[in-house]
Structures are given as structure tokens and as C-alpha cells.
């Protein structure tokens, strides 16, 4: 099921706390104040967290929904560096490109998430999209054209972790729907790299255990996060206990037609969609020169 930019008529009332987060009325006084708060958070460290974005009743429905979807997750275990590539044998072993760590987690691909789900209704809703676009300072944003990576549920069970990495997209929007009993802590180094350079020296310090520039978030179910993960090194620490950690990933891009790298789709979802197989044959280019 490929996501489109087609609007939906479904209402966000009851799915989002519109009293505290009036995303349906961004031109009103409360809406403008909300955007101002978000911009201040972004300017501070490239991250916005809106606590209790989803009201309690809707949150219970969302948790049941991701719990129902979670058996569809493809689990993979691999050794990965922060750049999700093969490393550089011409550089020293301790160089960030050659620092690999265990990544074990599961992802429910977008084509497993139906049009009737709450999370897809929110993902496709024009008010939600306009809100996210305004927060990140863009005229408009576009749903991924990638049928696997457009809307994803990240499922972490005991022992799973997502080690230090960057996101492929400039920003990412997530919502936790279920917290684990322990672990699963989100940590990040704000703006440690930029389109102008990788800043390998400071990245190496973080990988060596230097926490001086790190921030950590105590995310809870119902919290919405907007995060510039293309430039901020980040990780999720190993999950502890029998309760899975579920997070919905709403993937948007500043240009229409965004497709993730075919090899990344194979690694994360265990398969490719036809569009990935086509790109694998034809090749693809990124808009910046950063390592993926």
C-alpha cells in the first residue's frame, strides 16, 4: 500500500488533544503560540517533544493497534556503524566509520498498516501535515513514496537496541504508544554534524563514552517527538523486561517522491518493494554528500 498526498476527511478530534495542541487552527492565537513554543524547542537542540499529545482514551486504542500490528514486525540483528554503511578500511579502526555495534530490533513496514488504522489516518491528515511542516519551517511536506518506510511501527523487545546512528531523512516524527519496563532510553547529541561536514572528531568522543554534549529524553506513551535526526547522532538503549517498546514513525520529506535506499529496505524490512528493485538497477542520488 503506497502512501499518497491525498487528503482525508477523517477528524483528528478525539485522536489528538486539540485543546492543548490546536493543530487544526494554527492561524488562531493558541495555534500561533503552539508553533512558537515548538520553534523555541527546535532552536534549542533540534528536538520538539509534546507531552500527552494523544488523550488517554485514544492512547489506549493506539496501544491496542500497535500491539495488534507488532507480530508483523521483521526482526533483524546486524552490526552497524552510525552511518549504516560498510565502513572505510583505509581509515583507523577507531574511526567512527569503523565503529560497529549490535542493532537488533523490529519494524512493521508501511504496507502492513491499513488505511483504516488510526496511525495512518493521523499520518495522512492535512492538518497534521501542515502542523509538522510549520514546525520544521517548510511550506509543505510530503509523505514518503516509499511503500515500506512511509509509516512504520518500531518494535523493541527485551535486549533490542538501536545503537548510535543518523536518520536518512532530515527530520523524523515519532509517537510512542507503549513503553518497556526498563531501558529503551532515547539519547542524542544535538547537531553534532551538518551538511557542511561530518565532525568525526566529536562523534568519536561520543562513541568513546563522552556524555558532555548528550541529552536524554524520558519519552512516554502519547508523546509526540519531532527530531532532526539527520544531523544529531542518537540511539535507543537496550530494552529491559518482557514488555515491548512500540513507537510509530511518521516519515515525511521536503520533496515529493522520496524513496529510501534499496539496501536499507532489505536490511530493515527483510525485503524490497518493486520500486526499490528498480532503483537498485538504475542507481539513486542523495541531495547532500553526508554518509547515509
All structural domains of the chain, each given as residue ranges with its CATH number in brackets, are: 29-282 (2.60.120.620)
Please, which residues bridge with residue 233 across strands?
A: 189
Q: Contact at 8 Å (CB) between 214 and 187?
A: yes
Length in residues, the chain: 292
Query: By C-alpha distance, which of 232, 271, 41, 1 is closest to 135?
Result: 41
3-class secondary-structure state, position 193: coil
pLDDT tens, the chain, 292 aa long: 334 444 443 589 899 999 999 999 999 999 999 999 999 999 999 999 999 999 998 999 999 999 999 999 999 998 999 998 999 999 999 999 999 999 999 999 999 999 999 999 999 999 999 999 999 999 999 999 999 999 999 999 999 999 999 987 788 999 999 999 999 999 999 999 999 999 999 999 999 999 999 999 989 999 999 999 999 999 999 999 999 999 999 999 888 999 988 988 998 999 999 999 999 888 755 555 566 5
The whole model's pTM is what? 0.88
Q: How many CA atoms lie within 13 A of 271 on its CB side?
A: 12
d(CA 27, CA 44): 24
Query: What is the Cα Rg of the chain in Å?
Result: 18
Q: Are strands 142-143 and 224-227 parallel, antiparallel or unpaired?
A: unpaired
3-class secondary-structure state, position 116: coil
pLDDT at position 9, please?
39
State pLDDT tens for residues 240-269. 999 999 999 999 988 899 998 898 899 899
Angle, alpha carbons 72-17-30 (nearest 5°): 135
Q: How many CA atoms lie within 13 A of 147 on its CB side?
A: 13
Angle, helices 274-282 vs 262-269, to 10°: value is 140
Amino acid at each position: 500500500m503506497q502512501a499518497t498526498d491525498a487528503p482525508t476527511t477523517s477528524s483528528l478530534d478525539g485522536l489528538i488533544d486539540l485543546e492543548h495542541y490546536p493543530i487544526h487552527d494554527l492561524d488562531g492565537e493558541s495555534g500561533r503560540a503552539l508553533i512558537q513554543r515548538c520553534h523555541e524547542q527546535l532552536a534549542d537542540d533540534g528536538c520538539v517533544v509534546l507531552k500527552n499529545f494523544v488523550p488517554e482514551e485514544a492512547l489506549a486504542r493506539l496501544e491496542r493497534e500497535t500491539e495488534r500490528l507488532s507480530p508483523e514486525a521483521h526482526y533483524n540483528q546486524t552490526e552497524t556503524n552510525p552511518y549504516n554503511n560498510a565502513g572505510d578500511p583505509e581509515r583507523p579502526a577507531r574511526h567512527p566509520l569503523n565503529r560497529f555495534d549490535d542493532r537488533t530490533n523490529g519494524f512493521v513496514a508501511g504496507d502492513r498498516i491499513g488505511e483504516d488504522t488510526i496511525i495512518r489516518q493521523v499520518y495522512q491528515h492535512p492538518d497534521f501535515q501542515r502542523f509538522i511542516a510549520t514546525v520544521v519551517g517548510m511550506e509543505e511536506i510530503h509523505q514518503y513514496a516509499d511503500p515500506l518506510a512511509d509509516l512504520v511501527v518500531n518494535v523493541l523487545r527485551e535486549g533490542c537496541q538501536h545503537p548510535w546512528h543518523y536518520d536518512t531523512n532530515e527530520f523524523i516524527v515519532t509517537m510512542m504508544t507503549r513503553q518497556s519496563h526498563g531501558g529503551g532510553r532515547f539519547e542524542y547529541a544535538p547537531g553534532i554534524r551538518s551538511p557542511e561536514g561530518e565532525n568525526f572528531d566529536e562523534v568519536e568522543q561520543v562513541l568513546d563514552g563522552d556524555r558532555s554534549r548528550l541529552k536524554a529524553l524520558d519519552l512516554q506513551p502519547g508523546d509526540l517527538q519531532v527530531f532532526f535526526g539527520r544531523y544529531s547522532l542518537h540511539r535507543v538503549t537496550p530494552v529491559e523486561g518482557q514488555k515491548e517498546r512500540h513507537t510509530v514513525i511518521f516519515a515525511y520529506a521536503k520533496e515529493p517522491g522520496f524513496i529510501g535506499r534499496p539496501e536499507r529496505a532489505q536490511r530493515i524490512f527483510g525485503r524490497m518493494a518493486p520500486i526499490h528493485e528498480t532503483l537498485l538497477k538504475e542507481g539513486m542520488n542523495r541531495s547532500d554528500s553526508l554518509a547515509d
